[in-house]
A and B are shown apart, each in its own frame.
Chain A
Amino acid sequence: MVMDIFLLCMLITTFAMVAAKRMTALVNGFIGESLFLFFFTLTLGLRSAHAELLMVAALLFIIKVIFIPYSLKRISNKIKAEEDLGLFINPMVSIFISGGLVYLAYLFTRRIISMPGAIENAAFFVSLAMILIGIFIMVSRMKALAQVAGLLVIENGLFLAASAVSGGMPFFVEIAIFFDIFLCVTILGIFVYKINRLFTHIDVDKLTELKG
């Protein structure tokens, strides 16, 4: 029951990110999403008494709830990015589209995947929805930082999917994936910074010198 609520909250915070018009709101949405992901993994770990899952939960908290949002906010302050996200599609329509994506994820989970437990099924469904919405955020937001946020939503979704599948992937794989995501965000941050310095903006749709 508690876990269902966490899953629902994850979905709601993801929608909050879709509706966000400003960078701060987007990052706050991400903090919420990661926090509920942390609660979910923690509960899963406590119930199944896997010490490994608890470790993963701790890492999740440090990296996704504290470090990444902090560095995103720092970058966005440092480059004095205008707060607006370069919305390609307005929030109202975005929410409708995301609703459609959630339905797609639901259909897919029902038809293809049949997990042993109801919670795993629900987790898988929510994770797919998050991945799809993350991709949607990436293609419909034209600021470099917003695209990074989209990627982060995808990765939260992937993480949830991995822990839904029979209580998590092999431990060292998860740790390695964490490390990778951590690096990926750092490196994307470096590039956002470089783009801003060279172009004096971070509008991805204005990066059009290379064609053909």
Chain B
Amino acid sequence: MEIFIILIAPLLLAAISPLFKEERPLAGINAMGHLAILISSISLAIHITGAGKIEFFNLFHLDSLSAFFILVMALVNFFSAAYSAGYIRKDIEEGFVKGKKFVQYYALFNLFAFTMFFTASANNMGMVWVAVEMGTLVSAFLVGFYNNKKSIEAAWKYLIICSVGIALALLGTIFFYYTASRHGGITSLDWTGMMLVAGNLDPKVLKIAFLFILVGYGTKAGIAPMHTWLPDAYNQAPAPVSALLSGVFLKASLYVIMRYTAIVNKCMGPEFTGKLLIFFGLLSIAIAAAFIIAQRDSKRLLGYSSIEHIGIISLGFGIGGPIGIGGALFHVFNHALSKALIFLGMGGITRKYRTSDMNSIHGALKIMPFAGVAVLIAAFALAGSPPFSIFTSEIMIAIAGFRTGHYMATIIFLLLIAVIFGAFIHHISGMIFGKGPENMRKLGTPLGAKIAVILITAVILITAFATPPFFNKLLASSVNILRGI
């Protein structure tokens, strides 16, 4: 059973981390552990496309959608774990991380991974709520890891805003339970149970409940206008943690929203949720566009880029239909990988220059050739240029938009991503090209990071044109689950 490895391995890794006195072996074991989890998650995905679903303990229910999100999370976790090794070691060398504080980092890293895998595999939506909340609490320490004024400020904002968000999500969950028990006649919060009785639920209550769910989990997913914690957290967290937040945390919250949307859609059709998701999606892209144009800080730039992509995903999901939802899910995968890639490069650059202010970073290509190339590739991928996979998923969403008659929304979407393309590439090329500071020494990239960069680049290039059969099957049956078929 792959799922046991996926759920238990992070707990084991967290439990053994205090035993280590040195950072190096712990980082190695951590990366190996996450490689094992990644392999298990691929095997789980293949297994589930054959079996349909896995259920056990009355608590877990895994279908293609869960397997898909677990796969995305495992990928990002693995790359982030591999990258953490070099990153934290450097922090120790430079004195930012003292004594045995690295133990805390790896323990939190793995607890966070556990809560996120749990979110994707639990059936009971109350337990899902608990897992997301635990994930927030754990990651607050990762955001505030450096314990200086700015990082504590970021962590505080993150905790407070997300706590209010999660409180609203709990209220939404209670509303769902209310109508499920009163009109549906079931006394559980199981997603499968609520799906079964979806037809009997009260639309009036569902509408309110869904609004709370969307605002509540949307706060965590970074949907505008509840996104304000996100750029601060990205800016202050260690780079591998920022990659985790964008690749895992935001995606897990979106996953929960998708599950609830499926219930609501099954009860009263996709119009209501569709309108809301399209509206918030476009709003997120628009706000991200404005802040990307005016941005001066490289890490905040990446934060707003995440808000943009979350907006694109919810737009595609709101447009609906097999192509829209398929495009949105594919975008989840593509964004997670491309964002991980850009953090791999950018983390090293901002540390070498000792600032994340874009006006002070020039000529990164000369100082750190490998990282510079990685950032450049990732920037084009994120901006949505061919031949990278994000281009494919964005085109899918645009096609779905025109086909289903959402002309206005699709045109606004295309205009906004064109603007973002220009602004994003402009900012990044200002940092990558040009003359570097005179007295700065050239810096190589560690082998682990190099391998990670090459691997991700290969994946986002290849998947733009062709995806493996199991992946297609997984995506197709996830789309069917979300459409209630």
Interface residues, chain A, CB within 8 Å of chain B? Answer: 112-113, 115-116, 131, 134-135, 138, 144, 147, 151, 154-155, 158, 161-162, 165-166, 169-170, 172-173, 176-177, 179-180, 183-184, 187-188, 191, 194-195, 198-199, 204, 207, 209-210, 212
Question: Which residue in A131, A135, A180, A207 is a CB contact (below 8 Å) of B130?
Answer: A180
Q: Which residues of A contact B204 (CB under 8 A)?
A: 112
Question: Which residue in B127, B153, B178 is a CB contact (below 8 Å) of A165?
Answer: B178
Cβ B160 vs Cβ A198 within 8 A: no
How far is it, in angstroms, between the C-alpha of A184 and the C-alpha of B187 when the chains are bound? Answer: 27
Shortest Cβ distance from residue B47 to the other chain A in the assembled complex, whole angstroms: 28
Q: A204-B156, A209-B150 are in contact. Are A169 and B167 (CB under 8 A)?
A: no
Cβ B126 vs Cβ A177 within 8 A: yes
How far is it, in angstroms, between the C-alpha of A180 and the C-alpha of B300 when the chains are bound? Answer: 30
Q: Which residues of B contact A115 (CB under 8 A)?
A: 182
Cβ B149 vs Cβ A209 within 8 A: yes
Question: Which residue in B159, B167, B174, B187 is a CB contact (below 8 Å) of A191?
Answer: B159
Q: A131-B167, A138-B160, A169-B189 are in contact. Are A212 and B177 (CB under 8 A)?
A: no
Q: Which residues of A contact B231 (CB under 8 A)?
A: 210, 212
How far is it, in angstroms, between the C-alpha of A115 and the C-alpha of B295 when the chains are bound? Answer: 50
Cβ B137 vs Cβ A184 within 8 A: yes
How far is it, in angstroms, between the C-alpha of A21 and the C-alpha of B424 when the chains are bound? Answer: 48
- In the complex, given contacts A144-B156, A155-B167, A177-B170, what are 20 additional A-B residue pairs having Cβ atoms less than 8 angstroms apart? A151-B164, A154-B164, A165-B177, A165-B178, A169-B189, A173-B130, A180-B133, A180-B137, A184-B163, A191-B140, A191-B159, A194-B152, A195-B153, A204-B156, A207-B156, A207-B157, A209-B149, A209-B153, A210-B232, A212-B231
Count how many pairs of residues, one from A and one from B, have CB atoms less than 8 Å apart in the complex.
118
Question: Which residue in A173, A184, A191 is a CB contact (below 8 Å) of B133?
Answer: A184
Interface residues, chain B, CB within 8 Å of chain A? Answer: 124, 126-127, 129-130, 133-134, 137, 140-141, 144, 147-150, 152-157, 159-160, 163-164, 167, 170-171, 174, 177-178, 181-182, 187-189, 204-205, 208, 231-232, 235-236, 291, 294-297, 300
- The B interface, classified by DSSP as helix, strand, loop or mixed, is helix
How far is it, in angstroms, between the C-alpha of A170 and the C-alpha of B187 when the chains are bound? Answer: 7
Q: Which residues of A contact B181 (CB under 8 A)?
A: 165-166
Q: Which residues of A contact B297 (CB under 8 A)?
A: 212
Cβ B208 vs Cβ A112 within 8 A: yes
How far is it, in angstroms, between the C-alpha of A179 and the C-alpha of B126 when the chains are bound? Answer: 13
How far is it, in angstroms, between the C-alpha of A166 and the C-alpha of B185 when the chains are bound? Answer: 11
Query: 8 closest pairs, A vs B, by CB?
Result: A173-B126, A176-B130, A210-B232, A207-B153, A165-B178, A166-B181, A154-B167, A180-B133
Q: Which residues of A contact B177 (CB under 8 A)?
A: 162, 165-166, 169
Q: Which residues of A contact B294 (CB under 8 A)?
A: 212
Chain B CB within 10 Å, residue with most, of A112, A131, A144, A180: A180
Q: Which residues of B contact A147 (CB under 8 A)?
A: 160
Residue of B with least CB distance to A187: B137
- Listed by A's residue number, 30 A-B pairs whose Cβ atoms lie within 8 Å are A112-B204, A115-B182, A116-B182, A131-B167, A144-B156, A151-B160, A158-B167, A162-B177, A166-B178, A169-B174, A170-B189, A172-B127, A173-B126, A176-B130, A180-B133, A184-B137, A187-B141, A187-B159, A188-B163, A191-B152, A191-B155, A194-B152, A195-B156, A198-B149, A207-B157, A210-B154, A210-B231, A212-B294, A212-B296, A212-B300
Residue of A with least CB distance to B126: A173
Cβ A170 vs Cβ B167 within 8 A: no
Residue of A with least CB distance to B176: A165
Q: Which residues of B contact A207 (CB under 8 A)?
A: 153, 156-157
Cβ B164 vs Cβ A170 within 8 A: no
How far is it, in angstroms, between the C-alpha of A187 and the C-alpha of B136 when the chains are bound? Answer: 11
Q: Which residues of A contact B300 (CB under 8 A)?
A: 212
Question: Which residue in B126, B159, B188 is a CB contact (below 8 Å) of A176?
Answer: B126
How far is it, in angstroms, between the C-alpha of A172 and the C-alpha of B174 when the chains are bound? Answer: 15
Q: Which residues of A contact B205 (CB under 8 A)?
A: 112-113
Cβ B147 vs Cβ A194 within 8 A: yes
Q: A154-B164, A161-B171 are in contact. Are A177 and B130 (CB under 8 A)?
A: yes
Residue of B with least CB distance to A162: B174
Q: Which residues of B contact A155 (CB under 8 A)?
A: 167
Q: Which residues of B contact A194 (CB under 8 A)?
A: 144, 147, 152
Residue of A with least CB distance to B178: A165
Chain A CB within 10 Å, residue with most, of B124, B126, B140: B126
Q: Which residues of B contact A116 (CB under 8 A)?
A: 182
Question: Which residue in B127, B189, B291 is a CB contact (below 8 Å) of A212?
Answer: B291
Shortest Cβ distance from residue A129 to the other chain B in the assembled complex, whole angstroms: 13
Q: Which residues of A contact B129 (CB under 8 A)?
A: 177
Q: Which residues of B contact A161 (CB under 8 A)?
A: 171, 174
Q: Which residues of A contact B232 (CB under 8 A)?
A: 210
Cβ A188 vs Cβ B167 within 8 A: no
Chain B CB within 10 Å, residue with most, of A115, A161, A165, A199: A165
Shortest Cβ distance from residue B246 to the other chain A in the assembled complex, whole angstroms: 18
How far is it, in angstroms, between the C-alpha of A86 and the C-alpha of B368 when the chains are bound? Answer: 48
Shortest Cβ distance from residue B477 to the other chain A in the assembled complex, whole angstroms: 28
Cβ A158 vs Cβ B174 within 8 A: yes
Cβ A210 vs Cβ B152 within 8 A: no
Shortest Cβ distance from residue B234 to the other chain A in the assembled complex, whole angstroms: 10
How far is it, in angstroms, between the C-alpha of A105 and the C-alpha of B454 when the chains are bound? Answer: 56
Q: Which residues of A contact B170 (CB under 8 A)?
A: 158, 177
How far is it, in angstroms, between the C-alpha of A188 and the C-alpha of B137 when the chains are bound? Answer: 9
Q: Which residues of B contact A199 (CB under 8 A)?
A: 149
Cβ B127 vs Cβ A176 within 8 A: yes
